Amino acid sequence: MSKPIIQSNPQKANKTIFFLAITLTTMLASIIIIAYYDYNTYPIPHSTPIVKPLEIDVTVQPWYGTTDLAYGYGKYGIEVESPKPDQLSIATENVTLKINVISKGWVIQYAYFFSDLVEDKVHIPISFSNSNWITDLKKTFTINFSNVPDGSHTVDFFVVLHDGTTGIAKINFTVNT
């Protein structure tokens, strides 16, 4: 029967143990380096992308423009002040729509819009002046969208006068962040 290597030749046993320790250490270091390199070079993607919720802020103010807007059917005029027709490609996720409305004689009663960005109609509250009804004939609507996703989008803006007349402005823009 043969003797174990440690009993028969302690120097050879030490060399064997040293060789095994070096080999295992080298293999472990290689695995750590490869794992680190792969993770930092090719990060593991999230299973679901992080999407910020769309935020909408709307303000309505009297419009103090000095020029008359073209009256559509003789009762009102609508002007899309921003985005301008040559600025419909937007390089930010924050988009501001500015719409000026003027009525020839009927108070601007209410406004709302539809968009591919929201599921339902969005009503825009309007406050009325008790002292100067002229300010209720001219309004500026500012709609700020935050966290707008990339792609083409549409906003259909409606304004309703006191007599029921409805005006519309269609706004198309593309976000490329």
Which residues, 6 or more positions from 113, have their beta carbon under 8 angstroms from its beta carbon?
121, 122, 124, 143, 155, 156, 157, 158
Q: Are strands 108-115 and 151-161 parallel, antiparallel or unpaired?
A: antiparallel
CA distance 34 to 37: 5
- Please give the CATH number for the structural domain made up of 55-175: 2.60.40.650
The predicted pLDDT at position 58 comes to 95
Q: Are strands 166-175 and 89-90 parallel, antiparallel or unpaired?
A: parallel
Mean pLDDT across 128-147:
87
The predicted pLDDT at position 34 comes to 74
Dump pLDDT digits (tens) for 110-133. 999 999 999 999 999 998 887 777
Mean pLDDT across 131-146:
88
The predicted pLDDT at position 49 comes to 64
- Where in the chain are the domains? 5-41, 55-175
pLDDT tier at 1 (50, 70, 90 boundaries)?
Answer: low
Which of the two residues, 160 and 72, has the higher pLDDT score? 160
Mean pLDDT across 152-159:
96
The predicted pLDDT at position 60 comes to 94
Q: Per-residue pLDDT for 14 more than 90?
A: no
Dump pLDDT digits (tens) for 20-55. 888 888 888 777 777 666 555 555 566 666 778 999
Dump pLDDT digits (tens) for 39-95. 555 555 666 667 789 999 999 998 887 666 766 557 888 999 999 888 889 999 999
